[in-house]
Amino acid sequence: MSGSQQSGDGPRTTPPQAPAGPRARDLGIRIGRHATGPANAITDVRGVRVGHATIIRGEGPLVVGEGPVRTGVTVVAPHDGNIFLEPVFAGWHSLNGNGEVTGTAWLDEVGLLSGPIAITNTHSVGVVHDAIIEYAIRSHPPGTGFWSLPVVGETYDGTLNDINGFHVRREHLAEALESATSGPVAEGSVGGGTGMICHEFKGGIGTSSRVLPEEEGGWVVGVLVQANYGVRSDLRIDGVPVGAHLGVAEVPSPYGTRHPGGPGTPGSGSIIVVVATDAPLLPHQCRRVAQRASLGLARAGGYGRNSSGDMFVAFATGNRDLPDVSDTERLGAHTAAVRMVLDDRMNGIFTATVDATEEAIVNALLAAGTMTGANGVTAHGLDAGRVARIMEAHGRRPGTDGSPPSSGGGRR
């Protein structure tokens, strides 16, 4: 399984993190009307793989360059072929631009994703970008003309992590890529999500999927998020104002203790959303799908605050065997045959994207557990039992919402 890899210089000295909690569907929370895939993960889109490299080391006062370290990198590989030689169509959308996703100008220009999507912390974008190029060079035959504009996104983990210590290195990107697998995906405080905070709880990586019925195309839509945004009181789960029931008197906020170098204010983080589908979409349609992730974020309580970087990338594997931009022999043919979903048949894909985005955020929160980082700052995990009681108080008892049973609701 694509799991948490404890890596870095020296032994891990942090007390073990609590095991990942249940997922939304383990609590009877079924968002939307569509069934999930077998893993309820982005990897339910055939060929998509996810890998993490997780760096957890040290505790106590922050010493820049030494720690404590709570960070990492997560990669999404778009298919099971050579991802550097076989591009797929892609598009992206920015709800609020206080963040970074590299390579998006080229996505706008040609709509081709030629490599993995990587997510890390704000100050490690450069090293991960370079590491992808280095890794890609080894995937090309010797002497091949080659250039690359990798897609790397970020969110800020400096409240818990020694973000100015530059602890993510080239080998961590290679570790994440080489560990990338299909099937169940590790969630919560892993990979790029290791040091992230969401709605003033511990946040991180979350994922979910939807399978459309045949009358809506039969396609699969999968979402992966790195959730690091939001104010406690705004958090909603399937319409229930969960955050309003969990004030800081009951569950302290990590921002109650200020520390040097951190933003120190709720809602100042960001979220990256990656959407995958096996539908045959063209680049402009991928961009439209990426826009719909905004609606799933809004339903969970994300308002696109001024200091939040909310950026979304969508890719589609329904058109394969596309020529790489450096494949001059095939480009000499002038044309390539592609397919597309009719625009008035996109609604099922839009709905699946919205629902899976919301559920992925909930899964990230439930899986993350409690983490103490630099200067003793603690981000508390979202307690599943407490959530279940709040949902029940709002009439959301398992089996009473009229939703049909669906696959993918079990533990990882």
Residues with a known catalytic role: 270, 308, 310
Read off the DSSP letter of residue 35.
B
Whether residue 278 contacts residue 318, with contact meaning beta carbons closer than 8 Å, is answered with: yes
User: In what side-by-side order are the strands of the sheet with 49-57?
Assistant: 49-57, 69-77, 117-121, 151-155
Question: How far is 228 from 201, CA to CA, in rounded Å?
Answer: 9
- In angstroms, what is the C-alpha Rg of the chain? 20
Burial code (b: 16+ CB inside 10 Å, e: under 16) for 276-294 equals: bbbbbbbbebbbbbbbbbb
H runs (alpha helix) in 180-314 = 283-300
Dihedral over Cα of 158, 161, 164, 166: its sign? negative
Dihedral over Cα of 33, 39, 43, 44: its sign? negative
Structure tokens, 281: 């979409």
Question: How far is 86 from 340, CA to CA, in rounded Å?
Answer: 18
